[in-house]
Amino acid sequence: MAIKTRSEIKFNIGMDENNVPEEINWSAEGSERAEGHEAKAMMIALYDEKEENTLRIDLWKKDLMVEEMMKFTCQNIITLADAFARATGEDAYADEIREFGKSIAIKMGVLGPKK
């Protein structure tokens, strides 16, 4: 299959003298904001087909609070379930992943229980 278009996503990480991130900026072609976006943390997972392994890039700014990381992690679990469902059609498994994300978020206190 021939590639019809390409898009580029750029990350710019500003670090202190100990290589700890102080700034995380990203931009993507076609994004609504041409000047880019700021972020406090990022988690990127890439699947290596040849090695059948997941490669990760996890970065967070040194001023990220523990509660923010808890919320960010739980949100990642929940949205991972959404991507899994779209890619596989395995809605039942996605629901289990999503419910785990919500359950652990409630236990951590970053998401209130359903009313």
Question: pLDDT (tens digit, 9 = 90+) per residue, 17-74?
Answer: 999 999 999 998 877 766 789 999 999 999 999 999 999 999 999 999 999 999 999 9
Q: Name the helix (H) or strand (E) containing 80.
A: helix 66-88
Q: What is the pLDDT of residue 7?
A: 86
Q: Identity (one letter) of the amino acid at 99?
A: E
Q: What is the pLDDT of residue 113?
A: 62
pTM of this prediction? 0.84
Secondary structure E strands in 1-115: 9-15, 21-28, 37-39, 41-48, 53-60
